[in-house]
Amino acid sequence: MGLSKVQKSYLKQEHEIYRKTLRSFLEKEAVPYLDEWEEQKEVPRSFWKKVGSKGFLCPQVDEAYGGLNADFGFAVVSSEEFDRVSVGLVGIGLHNDIVIPYIEELGTEEQKKRWLPGAVTGETISAIAMTEPNTGSDLAAIRTTAIRDGDAYVINGEKTFITNGALADIVIVVCRTDPSAQPAHRGISLFVVEAGTPGFTKGKKLKKLGQHASDTCELIFDDVRVPRENLLGEENKGFYYLMQHLQQERLMVSIQSIASAEYILEQTIQYVKERKAFGKQISQFQHTQFKLAEMKTEIEIGRTFVDRLITEHMAKKDIVTEVSMAKWWITDLVKKVATDCMQLHGGYGYMEEYEIARRFRDVAVSSIYAGTNEIMKKIIAEQMQL
């Protein structure tokens, strides 16, 4: 994809056929409607169902629940292709590769039968609720509680910045089940809360700087009773499950960000070849050439690193430190690329009809979500035993 000539050993012929089919589908079913979705602040359910009907939702899910048993290479292709259309389609990647894997790995047979088939068809849209108004990257400090009451748990608290929050039919909610646990992270559990459960309400869609097609909102839990069968995994093990799954989440952000950087550069090269100033193409100015050469080099280095991590992740290796490196470096890179490419567009880069303006807004949050880049550096420093 994009400008990279790196040979991706993890991609085979079936992945490239999948890419071609998905790209064609998105050009027909997504591209013409992007402006409309940005105005609505969400991708409509009808589109989710179309994506599901073509087999592009959660292809990794076991065939027993309607999936294709696809390997992680398909997740990479999906992520790159959805990002190529719009970073604002991030909610689909979140559903496919971040939320649903919790149910696949931790769910009981009954839970899998209950939630996975709908996740594959697009009938069931998912979200994960970690962040709270007063708690971001410090997950151990969450205040939302789930207190045992007979054969149920009663959830109280608030979550914010929840991607897919407005549309979600099921939400994995991170709760404190043992308020007295020391250290605090030992008292955290995960629950699946279904839309329509009494006391569970969704706040208005939040007004964001970018990613306008992605619905994001607050979720409020006021004495929400959920049956014990909605506990995901074991009680008080939630923090460990989150840590295990954050490797893939942060790798997905790196994959999306390097794909965005490649696409932005691709579009900018095309623009500077067409645009003229002082009687010649902007691409012929040495300053432009040096800027583009620098970006091309850094993107190639980033792509090589990300592809190595994809291969190692598929081999089930523990690469938390390396993924933390990729997450901060690649997301800083895509923001730098967006800024420099916007500058090369001149005044037109500031106009909404040019793709670069939307990209500039949309990639800004990549260094914040899935753990801020400062947290990534903290993880790396801890591994260095300083």
Q: Are strands 152-163 and 216-227 parallel, antiparallel or unpaired?
A: antiparallel
- Collapsing DSSP to helix, strand or coil, 279 comes out as coil
**Tell me, what amino acid is at 104?**
E
Beta-sheet pairing, 280-281 with 231-232: unpaired
Q: For residue 78, how many C-alpha atoms fall within 13 Å in the half-sphere facing its CB? A: 25
Q: How far apart are CA 215 and CA 217, in angstroms?
A: 7
Would strands 170-176 and 216-227 be described as parallel, antiparallel, or unpaired? unpaired
Phi, then psi, of 215 in degrees rounded to 5: -75, 130
d(CA 124, CA 58): 11
249 annotated active-site:
yes
Tell me, rounded to whole angstroms, the distance of Cα 29 from its chain centroid.
21
Give CA–CA dist 250/371, Å, rounded. Answer: 8
**Which CA distances in Å does 332 have to 246, 295, 298?**
19, 12, 11
* 138 φ, ψ (degrees, to nearest 5): -85, 80
Stated as kind and residue range, the H or E segment containing 296 is helix 286-314
- Burial bucket for residue 217 (CB in 10 Å: 0-12, 13-18, 19+): buried
Annotated catalytic residue: which of 249, 352, 374, 382? 249
82, 21 Cβ separation under 8 angstroms: no
> Pairing mode, if any, of strands 231-232 and 188-194?
antiparallel
End-to-end CA distance of the chain: 39
Structure tokens at 350: 């500031």
Catalytic residue set: 249
